C-alpha cells in the first residue's frame, strides 16, 4: 500500500478508480479522491455486484440469496500493487487501480474472477510450474450507432472511404486507421501495457492486437485494462470499438486466442519440449484441453451472441483437433524454438472474461497433465468444415455441460459455477424476450 501511495503522489493523481472485474468482465467499483484513498479509507462493494448479468440485472432473488448472505453484505476491496494504471484519456490526472475482493471475514471472495484465476495458478505452483500466457485480442471498429435496430458498418478511414471487402493482413487497410492505432500504442506505453504487433484481420475494419507473453494474472489484468483503453481511443476518434464475438452479420467473429506454455519454476526451462522433441506433458496438456473444454465452453462463449461466431467454414474453429501450424483446428501449435513451445487455444471469444478464460484453459491443461490424458493424433488437414460433436455450440448445451461437470465444480467451486451459470441464464432469458429482425423477415407472413 505504501508503494501505491508513493506512486499516486509522484504522478500527482487527483482521482482514483478502485475497481475489479465482475463475471462478464465489466469494471465494477468506486471512484474516490486521492486524498481519501491515501488516508486509508476502506473501499467496499456489495457482494451482489459479482452476481450481475451483462445487462446489469441481478439474478433472481431466491438464487441470489442462496449464494450470498441475505443482507447483501459488502466485500472489502484491497488494491493490488502491480495493478496501478494511469488513464491517458482522463481530463484530470486519474488512475485506475485493480483490487482483489475479500469477504467481510477476510477470506478471498470466491465469486471474484480474479480470485478464480489465482486459485488455478496455485495448482501450478504446487507442482513447481510457472505458467506463461500470451493473449491475442481481436476487435471491430464500427461507425458509432445509437440505434440497436440498425446493423453496424465500418467507420470511414483517413481516405474518407469505408472498407467494402476483406483485407486480411492489409497494410494500407491498417493505415486507414493509423491515428487510432498510434494512440493505442501511445496510451499502452503510458499505461505500461505489454503490447506487441497489430494486424488487420479478415473482417471489415477488424484488427488483432497481440500482447507480449507473461504470467497469467498480469496478462489477464492487462487484457482487462486494454479493452477499456481501446474503447476510449475509438471514442476519441469518433467511432466505436467492440469486442462482441459476432457484431456484424456475414463477417468473421472476434476471438481471444490464448497461447500457453509452462516453465519449470526452478530451471526456467519450458516443460513442453526438449532437444529430443515434444514432451509427454505437452501431449497430456493437449489431451486435457480436448477432454475438458466442452465442460468450460460457457466460459469461452459466455454470451448469447458468442455462439454466432461458431460457423463451419468461417474463421472460428468448430472442433477440438490439434495440429502444427494449422489455423483450422481449435488447438494450434505454432512452429517455434524449444523454449517457446506452446499451444494456442483458439476457442475463447473476444467477449470472454480474460480472468476466467485464462483460468479455464489452464485448468483443462492441468487436468490433462495430472490425469495423463493422451490426445488425438495431430490433424494434417483442413478441419473447419464440420462441427465437432464434442463441443456444445449453443448456450443451453454449454451451460448444462458446465453444471454437470464434477471436475469443474470441484476445482472452481460449486458456488462459483452456480453463480456464473445464473448470471448467464439471466441474460439468456432477457434475450429470449426480444423478437429479432430475422424472425420478422422470415416468419411474419409464413407461419
> Which residues are CB-neighbours of 35 under 8 A, at least 6 positions away?
none
Whether 384 has a pLDDT exceeding 80, the answer reads no
Among candidate residues 406, 347, 345, the one with its CA nearest the CA of residue 131 = 345
Range(s) for CATH 3.10.20.70 in the chain?
Answer: 2-111
Nearest to 140 by CA among 127, 153, 131, 129: 153
Provide the pLDDT for residue 311.
Answer: 83
Tell me how crowded residue 19 is: count the other CB atoms within 10 A of its CB: 22
Looking up cell 457482494 gives: 47
> ∠48-52-56 over CA atoms, to 5°?
125
- Collect all residues with Cβ–Cβ distance below 8 Å to 205 and sequence separation of at least 6: 140, 141, 142, 154, 155, 157, 162, 163, 177
Whole-number percent of the chain with pLDDT over 90: 86
CATH architecture of the domain covering 2-111: Roll (3.10)
φ, ψ of residue 50 to 5 degrees: the values are -85, 0
For residue 190 the three cell numbers come to 503510458
Give the mean model confidence (pLDDT) for residues 241-263: 96
pLDDT at 164: 86
What is the pLDDT, as a whole number, of residue 70?
85
- Residue by residue, DSSP assigns 13-34 as --EEEEEEE-TTS-EEEEEEEH
**Residue 214 and residue 132 in contact, taking contact as beta carbons nearer than 8 Å:** yes
CATH code for residues 121-404:
3.30.590.10
In this prediction, residue 287 carries a pLDDT of 98
Residue 361 — very low, low, confident or very high, per pLDDT cuts 50/70/90? Answer: very high
Please say whether the beta carbons of 177 and 158 come within 8 A. yes
Q: What is the mean pLDDT of the chain?
A: 94
pLDDT band at 167; cut points 50, 70, 90? confident
Q: How many CA atoms lie within 13 A of 441 on its CB side?
A: 3
- pLDDT interval class at 313 (50, 70, 90): low
Between 42 and 392, the more confident residue is 392
Q: pLDDT, tens digit, for every residue of 172-227? A: 999 999 999 999 999 999 999 999 999 999 999 999 999 999 999 999 999 999 99
Cell of 322: 490439434
∠191-227-310 over CA atoms, to 5°? Answer: 150
Helix, strand, coil shares of the chain, percent, nearest 5, are: 40, 20, 40
Residue with the bigger pLDDT between 127 and 54: it is 127
- pTM, two decimals, is 0.96
The pLDDT-based confidence of 314 (bands split at 50, 70, 90) is: low
Cβ neighbourhood burial of 284 (10 Å; 0-12, 13-18, 19+): buried
DSSP annotation string for 355-417: HHHHHHHHHHHHHHHHHTPPPPPPP-S--TTS--TTS--SHHHHHHHHHH-HHHHHHH-HHHH
Q: Three cell numbers at 243? A: 469486442
List the strands of the sheet with 74-86, edge to edge: 27-33, 15-21, 94-102, 74-86, 43-46
Closest CA to 304 of 417, 419, 425: 425
* Range(s) of the chain covered by CATH 3.30.590.10: 121-404
Amino acid at each position: 500500500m505504501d508503494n501505491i501511495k508513493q506512486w499516486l503522489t509522484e504522478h500527482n493523481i487527483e482521482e482514483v478508480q478502485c475497481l475489479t472485474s465482475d463475471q462478464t468482465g465489466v469494471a465494477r467499483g468506486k471512484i474516490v479522491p486521492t486524498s481519501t484513498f491515501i488516508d486509508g479509507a476502506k473501499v467496499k462493494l456489495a457482494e451482489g455486484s459479482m452476481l450481475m448479468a451483462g445487462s446489469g440485472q441481478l439474478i433472481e432473488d431466491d438464487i441470489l440469496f442462496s449464494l450470498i448472505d441475505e443482507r447483501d453484505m459488502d466485500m472489502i476491496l484491497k488494491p493490488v500493487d502491480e495493478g496501478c494504471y494511469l488513464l491517458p484519456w482522463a481530463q484530470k490526472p486519474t488512475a485506475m487501480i485493480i483490487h482483489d475482493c475479500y469477504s467481510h471475514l477476510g477470506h478471498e471472495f470466491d465469486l471474484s474472477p480474479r480470485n478464480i484465476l489465482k486459485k488455478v495458478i496455485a495448482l501450478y505452483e504446487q507442482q513447481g510450474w510457472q505458467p506463461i500466457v500470451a493473449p491475442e485480442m481481436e476487435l471491430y471498429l464500427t461507425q458509432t450507432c445509437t440505434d440497436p435496430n440498425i446493423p453496424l458498418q465500418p467507420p470511414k478511414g483517413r481516405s474518407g472511404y469505408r472498407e467494402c471487402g476483406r483485407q486480411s493482413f492489409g497494410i494500407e487497410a491498417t493505415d486507414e486507421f493509423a491515428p487510432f492505432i498510434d494512440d493505442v500504442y501511445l496510451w499502452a506505453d503510458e499505461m505500461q501495457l505489454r503490447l506487441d504487433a497489430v494486424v488487420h484481420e479478415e473482417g471489415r475494419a477488424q484488427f488483432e492486437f497481440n500482447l507480449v507473453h507473461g504470467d497469467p494474472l498480469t496478462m489477464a489484468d492487462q487484457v482487462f485494462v486494454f479493452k477499456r483503453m481501446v474503447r476510449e481511443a475509438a471514442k476519441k476518434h469518433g467511432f466505436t470499438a467492440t469486442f462482441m464475438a459476432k457484431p456484424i452479420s456475414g463477417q468473421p467473429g472476434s476471438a481471444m486466442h490464448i497461447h500457453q506454455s509452462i516453465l519449470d519454476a526452478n530451471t526456467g526451462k519450458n516443460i513442453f519440449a526438449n532437444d529430443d522433441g515434444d514432451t509427454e506433458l505437452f501431449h497430456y496438456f493437449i489431451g486435457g484441453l480436448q477432454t475438458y473444454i466442452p465442460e468450460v465452453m460457457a466460459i469461452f462463449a459466455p454470451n448469447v451472441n458468442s455462439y454466432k461466431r461458431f460457423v463451419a467454414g468461417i474463421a472460428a474453429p468448430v472442433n477440438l483437433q490439434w495440429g502444427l501450424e494449422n489455423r483450422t483446428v481449435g488447438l494450434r501449435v505454432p512452429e517455434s524454438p524449444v523454449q517457446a513451445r506452446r499451444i494456442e487455444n483458439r476457442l475463447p471469444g473476444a467477449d470472454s472474461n480474460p480472468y476466467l478464460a485464462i483460468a479455464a484453459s489452464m485448468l483443462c491443461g492441468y487436468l490433462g497433465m495430472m490425469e495423463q490424458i493422451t490426445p488425438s493424433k495431430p490433424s494434417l488437414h483442413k478441419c473447419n468444415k464440420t462441427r465437432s460433436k464434442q463441443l456444445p455450440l449453443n448456450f443451453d448445451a454449454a451451460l448444462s455441460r458446465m453444471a454437470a461437470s464434477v471436475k469443474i465444480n470441484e476445482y472452481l467451486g460449486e458456488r462459483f459455477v452456480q453463480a456464473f451459470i445464473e448470471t448467464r441464464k439471466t441474460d439468456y432469458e432477457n434475450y429470449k424476450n426480444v423478437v429479432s429482425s430475422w424472425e420478422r423477415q422470415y416468419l411474419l407472413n409464413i407461419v
